[in-house]
Structure 1
Amino acid sequence: MNAWGQGALLRAAPWVFVLIWSTGFVVARYGMPHAPPMSFLAWRFAFSVLGLVLWARWAGARWPTTRSQWGHLAVVGVLLHAGYLGGVWAAVKAGMGAGLVALIVGLQPVLTAVWVSAVDRLGEGRVSLRQWAGLGLGFAGLVMVVWDKLGVGEAGPVSLALALWALLAITAGTLYQKRHVVAGDPRTGNAVQLMAALAVAAPLAWLEAEPIVLHPHFIGAMAWSVLVLTLGGNSLMYLLIQRGAATAFTSLLYLVPPCTAVLAWLLFGETLTALALVGMGIVAWGVWLVVRSQGGSASHPTR
């Protein structure tokens, strides 16, 4: 491939990543009628571990060398995969739309940035007035979006609690990863994380009474989750960061909720009223204020 073609691919990579990342919420909506959440995730984690192990073996990738590295990766895996994905999928199963789930957990970079600044553990400064204003705007916008959904049952107490649990899990996981996980090969690191997530998800799956139905939608959602989201999405994220896009990378995550909303509208007929659209705009404004003050230092979770 010539230099022009390589440059075009690199320019397109961020937008391809946003599209892939956004489909994670849509896939949850697509597969949930045919499987309980933890059962689906347990099989997804198992197939993903198999794929990553084979890929790492073929490429000769290095595995973590110390027990502490394995332990830190396991903690991150439980939080980011079992906790975060479990909350997202369970919220969708409980009736919450893909667009609303994406918006709620999309506040993760804001919470991460403000927490890091507040505790000042990583030397990144205290919380500025601009950041507090951004956090307040983001919360107000989220209330507007959620409030609009309360009357139609999409954001009931159970689904809302599950989505907030997913938000807390991914925030805690990224903060832990930022502080404790050293740089390493993403294939082996993700494999260790998913092994730990599988150890949590598998026993929970045994407690679910609903059976798995091998519907074409279930098979398609599983294949997309493993091949595109886990193997493809994570690899593309690593490529973007390695290519020097780490500073701008965080801003891509804020394009995910509107992209998810459009996909959910096209595929499932999910709607957002004027109040919800205004609330989404306020969330974006608040996030922009925080990220502008933080300088794009929020962590980058795995999917």
Structure 2
Amino acid sequence: MDIRAIFMGLAFALMWSSAFTSARMIVADAPPLTALSLRFLISGLIGVGIAGAMGQSWRLSRGQWRSVAVFGLCQNALYLGLNFVAMQWVEASLAAIIASTMPLLVALLGWLFFGEKVRPLGIAGLVAGVAGVAIIMGSRLTGGVSLPGIALCGAGALALAVATLTVRGTSSKGNVLMIVGLQMFVGAGVLAVAAALTESWQVNWTPRLGLAFAYTTLVPGLIATWVWFRLVDRIGAVRAATYHFLNPFFGVAVAAVLLGETLGLADIVGVVIVAAGILAVQLSKRAPAPVVAVAR
């Protein structure tokens, strides 16, 4: 058992899930796109600076530059940008649940558009994921949740799934932190333009805003991304992605503890079903164990 990989997977899932709660805190007091652009700029400067000090090179391969461009646009600008805007109206727990369906979307898009085979366990996982989300949405819609907010979160998850399919298989080749930092710069630039066109500079300066911004910039923004790349290098993308099944649990738990968001029975049941669906899809991607003949 790879204890270090398990610790890295748990740490990544917790950091990734906590980002929705800290983002909810930020958008309560600052314009979302402006704050996110500034966060990416700071994270990028820190990441590239540390990478340079470690001897990592900005001279990347064509595939690595494609990864920088695609993830910078789809993950940082679209996925996180849409989620930050949405969380002006959507609770952090619901945003985390929607975002956690990304592995299901990757499997579904790969099946529909790339002809990838999905095993029966994977199909069952997709069905379970859809059912779990339907249970949660049915409960939330009766409570008056923002439909535009849900649409923005869903579009963000779709953008991240497309990015994942586009650049999968690209190796970091020892330049993990440099690639992460450069991706941040792409997101910062795109969001700065969007913020200049759509937002005004109105900030309510509070200690909570400062702490949430610092946490989001350093932990989910930089450390979690670095841990994810290291985890993939250590155990492979398929096995690493299995830890995504923890995201719904961590997402709602952190939001409940720090923001006091309430969860109904339908939410809890839906989260369990979605998590089971994610786990089933990821487990179905593992190659079957070879059959070894045993002498008798």
Q: TM tier, shorter chain? A: 0.7 to 0.9
Distance in 2, Cα, partners of 1:53 & 1:18 = 24
Please tell me whether the aligned partners of residues 35 and 213 of structure 1 are also in contact (alpha carbons under 8 angstroms).
yes
Matched, 1:191 2:181: yes
Distance in 1, Cα, partners of 2:10 & 2:67 = 31
Q: Report the residue type matching 2:259 in the other structure.
A: F
Among 19, 37, 47, the alignment partner of 1:24 is 19
Q: Report the residue type matching 1:290 in the other structure.
A: V
Among 237, 249, 253, the alignment partner of 1:262 is 253
Distance in 2, Cα, partners of 1:11 & 1:255 = 12
Q: Report the residue type matching 1:199 in the other structure.
A: G
Identity of aligned residues (%): 29
Please tell me whether the aligned partners of residues 22 and 260 of structure 1 are also in contact (alpha carbons under 8 angstroms).
yes
| Residue of structure 2 equivalent to 1:224 | 215
Among 102, 108, 114, the alignment partner of 2:102 is 108
Compared with structure 1, are the counterparts of its residues 183 and 10 closer, same or farther at alpha carbon in structure 2 (3 Å cutoff)?
Answer: closer
Compared with structure 1, are the counterparts of its residues 178 and 68 closer, same or farther at alpha carbon in structure 2 (3 Å cutoff)?
Answer: closer
Please tell me whether the aligned partners of residues 118 and 127 of structure 1 are also in contact (alpha carbons under 8 angstroms).
no
Distance in 2, Cα, partners of 1:10 & 1:284 = 20
Compared with structure 1, are the counterparts of its residues 290 and 65 closer, same or farther at alpha carbon in structure 2 (3 Å cutoff)?
Answer: closer
| Residue of structure 1 equivalent to 2:73 | 78
For normalisation by structure 1, the TM-score amounts to 0.85
Among 97, 114, 118, the alignment partner of 2:91 is 97
**Is the partner of 2:168 in helix, strand or coil?**
helix
CA-CA distance at 1:273 after TM superposition:
0.9
Distance in 2, Cα, partners of 1:173 & 1:63 = 21
Distance in 1, Cα, partners of 2:204 & 2:69 = 30
Distance in 2, Cα, partners of 1:17 & 1:287 = 16
**Is the partner of 1:60 in helix, strand or coil?**
coil
| Residue of structure 1 equivalent to 2:42 | 47
Runs of 4+ in structure 1 off by over 6 angstroms are none
Matched, 1:152 2:143: yes
Matched, 1:174 2:164: yes
Distance in 2, Cα, partners of 1:187 & 1:100 = 30
For normalisation by structure 2, the TM-score amounts to 0.87
Among 134, 142, 149, the alignment partner of 2:133 is 142
**Is the partner of 1:34 in helix, strand or coil?**
coil
CA-CA distance at 1:36 after TM superposition:
1.4
Compared with structure 1, are the counterparts of its residues 144 and 11 closer, same or farther at alpha carbon in structure 2 (3 Å cutoff)?
Answer: closer
Single out whichever of 190-199 and 65-74 deviates more from structure 2: 65-74
Q: Report the residue type matching 2:137 in the other structure.
A: V
What CA deviation, in whole Å up to 9, does each residue of 1:126-153 have, x standing for no partner?
2334433321221121011011111333
Please tell me whether the aligned partners of residues 244 and 278 of structure 2 are also in contact (alpha carbons under 8 angstroms).
no
Distance in 2, Cα, partners of 1:11 & 1:286 = 20
| Residue of structure 1 equivalent to 2:193 | 203
Please tell me whether the aligned partners of residues 239 and 282 of structure 2 are also in contact (alpha carbons under 8 angstroms).
no
Please tell me whether the aligned partners of residues 5 and 235 of structure 2 are also in contact (alpha carbons under 8 angstroms).
no
Gaps of 5+ in 1: 1-6, 297-303
Please tell me whether the aligned partners of residues 119 and 126 of structure 1 are also in contact (alpha carbons under 8 angstroms).
no
Gaps of 5+ in 2: 288-296
Compared with structure 1, are the counterparts of its residues 19 and 127 closer, same or farther at alpha carbon in structure 2 (3 Å cutoff)?
Answer: closer
**Is the partner of 2:87 in helix, strand or coil?**
helix
CA-CA distance at 1:66 after TM superposition:
5.1
Distance in 1, Cα, partners of 2:265 & 2:113 = 37
Please tell me whether the aligned partners of residues 75 and 196 of structure 1 are also in contact (alpha carbons under 8 angstroms).
no
Distance in 1, Cα, partners of 2:8 & 2:60 = 32
Report the number of matched residues.
Answer: 284
Distance in 2, Cα, partners of 1:285 & 1:9 = 24
Distance in 2, Cα, partners of 1:240 & 1:66 = 21
Distance in 1, Cα, partners of 2:52 & 2:172 = 19
Please tell me whether the aligned partners of residues 27 and 87 of structure 2 are also in contact (alpha carbons under 8 angstroms).
yes
Single out whichever of 109-118 and 191-200 deviates more from structure 2: 109-118
